Amino acid sequence: MTTSFDQLIDRSQTQSVRWSSHPKEVIPLWVADMDFACPPCIQDALHQRIEHGIYGYTKASEHLREAIIAYLQRRYQWQILPEWLIFLPSVVTGLYLIPSLFLETYEQALIPSPAYHHFQMGLEQSTRSFVKYHFTEQSGRWAIDFDELETLVTSQTKLLMLCNPHNPGGTVFHKDELEKLGSFAVRNNLMICSDEIHADLILDTDKSHLPIASLTREIGERTITLMSLNKAFNFPGIGLAWAVVPNQAMRQKIQQPLHGLIPSPNLLAYEATLAAISAGQTWHTELLNYLRNNRDYVMQRINRLPGLKTLHLEATYLAWIDASGIDDPYQRMLDAGVALSPGAQFGAPQFLRLNFGTPMSRLKEALDRIELTFK
């Protein structure tokens, strides 16, 4: 049975970052957006807003706030208050804002490794120092090395950065792992910044997302959670994120630069987010089914090639491929006609990241090319 996710949509004339950075014969499976059209409910909401014709300064409606609160309750059994929500134009904005706002120049953060590159870049830009804690292979999945983590804290350490679920590697943290992290933060008096943008991209049906801030009041009070629907509903070019900040003093600190330095989200992003929450559920369930099938296909084909290996991916549409057995794997893939993300971008040069948020026929063509080169 074909679905709307099988449709090959030409993105070449859209200034897509993903599709405009390589010669046209290369299949680009790198930057994290998907080649699927947004759900019709989002397209309809955007059309309706565009047709109004006036695009003045716009703020989030009470209706949107209530919808987000109900969404967090429904999906994660997380009860938050309306005043805890702060809107941002993107999650990355938060990753750059938080270190400079919350760390003194001599204070330090713990950041995951490998990690989405803006974790490190946000700290570098703020000129705050950081120490990396690592993921290791444990029971067939990428998990935090807690023994190492305990050794990394110093009197300067003030912030624990977390990516939940993790990118790259696709880890969905177990409740006991999050509890361990939370009590580690409490014991060492660390603030937590948890990037949960991939929360709605959990592929394993026996797993679910748990916001670390929802564990206990004590953990919540020291946590800023960054969330957005633009990954799971595929509108990152419109872009809206929100921070959940239960602690009032922390909220005030974030709100200061928002009056001038950081713009409000685009007015269309409010519409897209509300439509996703109100009417996007069926599309989203179908998306996860499609991505799960793509994930299984990628794992099966990659794992039979010599020198390449990928662990079971619990979440995201980004396969994390260990290519340690191969010299310059990024260039070899490019020569084969497939552009992946180089692992060096995430701090692991022997790895590659493959975005399988694309129709199966294109994914198959890409894997055929890879197989021809690597088998």
Ligand X SMILES: Cc1ncc(COP(=O)(O)O)c(C=O)c1O
The smaller minimum CB distance to ligand X, of residues 295 and 301, is found at 295
Residues 172-201 that bind ligand X (CB under 6 A): 195, 197
Q: Measured at the alpha carbon of residue 210, what is the angle toward residues 137 and 348, in degrees to the nearest 5? A: 30
Q: By CB under 6 A, name the one of 27, 34, 92, 319 that touches ligand X.
A: 92
Each residue 21-60 as x (binds ligand X by CB under 6 A) or -, in order, gives -----------x----------------------------
In whole angstroms, what is the distance from residue 80 CA to residue 210 CA?
A: 14
The smaller minimum CB distance to ligand X, of residues 197 and 302, is found at 197
Each residue 334-373 as x (binds ligand X by CB under 6 A) or -, in order, gives ----------------------------------------
The smaller minimum CB distance to ligand X, of residues 69 and 92, is found at 92
In whole angstroms, what is the distance from residue 308 CA to residue 302 CA?
A: 6
The smaller minimum CB distance to ligand X, of residues 27 and 32, is found at 32
Binding of ligand X at residue 167 (CB under 6 A)?
A: yes
Torsion of CA 181, 183, 186, 188, to 10 degrees: -70
Torsion of CA 295, 41, 238, 18, to 10 degrees: 30
Backbone angles phi, psi at 112, to 5 degrees: -70, 155
Pairing state of beta strands 85-88 and 129-138? unpaired
In one-letter notation, the amino acid at residue 47 is H
The smaller minimum CB distance to ligand X, of residues 31 and 152, is found at 31
Could you give the C-alpha distances from 25 to 4, 8, 135, 222, 317, in angstroms and in order? 24, 15, 35, 48, 23
Binding of ligand X at residue 315 (CB under 6 A)?
A: no
16-41 burial code (b ≥16 CB/10 A, e <16):
eebbeeeeeebbbbbebbbbbebbeb
Each residue 233-272 as x (binds ligand X by CB under 6 A) or -, in order, gives ---x--x-x-------------------------------
Binding of ligand X at residue 71 (CB under 6 A)?
A: no
- In the complex, which residues of this chain contact ligand X (CB under 6 A)? 32, 90-92, 116, 163, 167, 195, 197, 228, 230, 236, 239, 241
